[in-house]
Amino acid sequence: MQKKKVLLFLAKAFKTMEFCPFIDVLGWARVDYGHNLFVDTCGFTEKVISTFNVPVIVDRTISEINVDEYEALAIPGGFGEFGFYEEAYDERFLELIREFSAKGKIIATVCSGAFPVAKSGVLKGRKATTYHLKDGFFQEKLKEFGVNVVNEPIVVDRNIITSYCPETAPNVAFELLKMLTSEEDMTVIKKAMGF
- Band of pLDDT at residue 69, cut at 50, 70 and 90: very high
Residue 1 has pLDDT above 80, yes or no: no
144-184 residue pLDDT tens: 999 999 999 999 999 999 999 999 999 999 999 999 999 99
Residue 80 has pLDDT above 90, yes or no: yes
Residue 2 has pLDDT above 90, yes or no: no
Residue closest to 145 by CA, chosen among 184, 178, 117: 117
Angstrom distances, CA of residue 5 to CA of 10, 22, 23, 74: 16, 12, 12, 11
Q: What is d(CA 48, CA 86) in angstroms, rounded to the nearest whole number?
A: 13
- Name the pTM for this structure: 0.97
Q: Report the topology of domain 4-186.
A: Rossmann fold (3.40.50)
The strand pair at 154-157 and 160-163 is best described as antiparallel
- Band of pLDDT at residue 83, cut at 50, 70 and 90: very high
